[in-house]
């Protein structure tokens, strides 16, 4: 990792140079951020680091710390490490593999940073606390020109970042295996979540996103995080969408299982798994992500016809928008320091924005695929009352196989998600690579 990080920080230095040149500034100050106090309380929400800080300094626990970069000299870390008997404070990672890439200054008091910030009016501030920036004399606060460059470049991952995301696959998949076993052993959603957290050595406070642990119809709620304590009367299906992090970089993996492997729902699951793998095989640099999203809807339209859920030709199912009832979200999203990583709509360093088309409002990426981009591929298929209801009074309602749809509603839905990185020769499936390394086959 040391060599990869050295290459990573060298690349970031050139990115900072570019950002400062286009904004005509001398330096960049990045504040790590601080935990937020709950309203009318003395308790704090779990700390989430500024992702731009984490981009340069791979320690997600460095609360109240600062970075200074000018793109030419060695980056400077002002690491906050006070003495405190109320809490365990982070130790400065001076022996970490990345430590030698920085000049170090330890802060024991937050106000000490004022001794080091000089001519703030000629520098940019990147961070959430704009009032803090103003009090320190910054005028270029979260400069759009600077952020446009940083966001666009964050969508192109270095080898160090790709390795971190791969390591996050390995740890998450161990948890997925334990969760799958727990479901088939008869555990509740709450118990399955505990098993996943234990296997991945996480708590609910530091998972990259809220774990989705859904049995039966609960999997039709796209971001279900309720966690039922009760055993279902009948065990039909299980959807798990859960990840881990490595040095702040996330994995985002989803699997769906049918309790009865001979059921028609199991056939639907297998078909969706295959659609995911088939679309990954097609991914190529230079092609727009939207085209693959559209391709997935055409395939799902064929599946709707094949399983006689709607007795219309697949072409008409697609053209009428019926596939969008069953797949209401996008094919996937950028992945990195944030689970839904930045620049999914940003087309260049200048910040040109390309919104998703009106018929696909939940699509999170309108970019052409480029080498080094890491995205998720996560087709889904759901039976959602809210989306089905308007079609019961539609002129095409008579073509819907409502009896069959109502039978399948108790299974909830299906999602199958892998994380891939684009290369000049196509997509490398990081999730499948990690499954093979672990000797797992989570299908």
From residue 439, give the alpha-carbon distance in Å to each of 23, 182, 258, 433: 50, 19, 21, 10
Q: Is residue 241 part of an annotated ligand binding site?
A: yes
d(CA 199, CA 437): 17
Distance CA 75, CA 59 (A): 15
Spatial contact of 176 and 196, defined as CB atoms under 8 Å apart = yes
Angle at Cα 367 formed by Cα 322 and Cα 298, nearest 5°? Answer: 25
Is 297 a known ligand-binding residue? no
CA 199, 222, 336 angle in degrees (round to 5)? 60
Is 260 annotated in some ligand binding site? no
378 is in an annotated binding site: yes
- Residue for token pair 């072409």: 315
20-25's contacts with Cβ under 8 Å and 24+ in sequence apart are: 20/70, 20/71, 20/124, 20/146, 22/145, 22/149, 22/349, 23/124, 23/140, 23/143, 23/145, 23/146, 25/122, 25/123, 25/124, 25/140, 25/143, 25/146
CA dist 178 and 183 (Å) reads 9
Paired with 77 in beta bridges are 67, 104
The radius of gyration of the chain from alpha carbons, rounded to an integer in Å, stands at 24
Q: Which two tokens stand for residue 34?
A: 């601080």
Q: CA separation (Å) from 393 to 51, 57, 109, 304, 390?
A: 47, 56, 65, 19, 6
Confirm whether residue 41 is marked as ligand binding: no
* End-to-end Cα separation, the chain, in angstroms: 31
Residue with tokens 């998972």: 207
Question: Closest by alpha carbon to 29, among 151, 109, 97, 130?
Answer: 130
Does residue 99 contact residue 2 with C-beta atoms inside 8 Å? no
Binding site for Mn(2+): residue ranges? Answer: 241, 252, 333, 378, 417
Binding site: residue ranges? Answer: 241, 252, 333, 378, 417
């Amino acid at each position: 990792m040391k060599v990869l990080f050295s290459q990573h920080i060298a690349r970031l230095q050139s990115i900072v140079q570019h950002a400062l040149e286009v904004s005509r500034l001398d330096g960049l100050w990045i504040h790590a951020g601080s935990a937020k106090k709950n309203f009318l309380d003395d308790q704090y929400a779990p700390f989430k680091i500024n992702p731009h800080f984490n981009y340069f300094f791979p320690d997600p626990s460095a609360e109240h710390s600062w970075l200074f970069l000018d793109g030419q000299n060695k980056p400077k870390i002002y690491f906050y490490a006070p003495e405190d008997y109320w809490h365990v404070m982070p130790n400065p990672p001076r022996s970490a593999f990345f430590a030698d890439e920085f000049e170090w200054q330890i802060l024991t008091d937050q106000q000490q940073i004022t001794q080091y910030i000089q001519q703030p009016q000629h520098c940019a501030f990147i961070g959430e606390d704009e009032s803090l920036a103003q009090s320190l004399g910054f005028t270029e606060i979260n400069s759009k020109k600077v952020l446009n460059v940083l966001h666009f470049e964050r969508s192109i991952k270095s080898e160090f970042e790709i390795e971190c995301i791969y390591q996050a696959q390995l740890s998450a998949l161990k948890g997925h295996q334990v969760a799958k076993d727990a479901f088939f052993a008869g555990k509740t959603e709450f118990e399955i979540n505990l098993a996943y957290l234990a296997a991945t050595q996480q708590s609910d406070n530091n998972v990259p996103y809220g774990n989705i642990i859904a049995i039966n119809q609960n999997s039709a709620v796209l971001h279900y995080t309720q966690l039922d304590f009760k055993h279902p009367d009948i065990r039909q299906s299980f959807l798990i969408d859960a990840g881990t992090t490595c040095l702040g970089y996330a994995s985002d993996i989803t699997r769906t299982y049918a309790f009865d492997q001979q059921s028609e729902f199991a056939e639907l699951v297998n078909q969706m798994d295959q659609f995911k793998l088939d679309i990954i095989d097609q991914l190529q640099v230079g092609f727009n992500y939207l085209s693959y999203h559209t391709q997935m809807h055409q395939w799902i339209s064929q599946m709707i016809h094949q399983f006689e859920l709607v007795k219309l030709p697949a072409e008409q199912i697609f053209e009428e928008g019926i596939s969008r009832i069953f797949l209401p979200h996008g094919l996937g999203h950028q992945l990195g320091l944030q689970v839904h990583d930045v620049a999914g709509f940003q087309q260049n360093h200048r910040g040109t924005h390309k919104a998703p088309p009106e018929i696909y409002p939940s699509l999170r990426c309108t970019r052409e695929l480029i080498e080094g981009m890491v995205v998720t591929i996560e087709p889904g298929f759901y039976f959602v009352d809210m989306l089905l209801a308007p079609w019961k009074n539609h002129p095409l309602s008579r073509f819907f196989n409502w009896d069959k749809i109502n039978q399948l509603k108790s299974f909830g839905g299906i999602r199958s998600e892998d994380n891939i990185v684009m290369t000049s020769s196509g997509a490398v499936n990081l999730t499948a690579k990690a499954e093979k390394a672990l000797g797992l086959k989570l299908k």
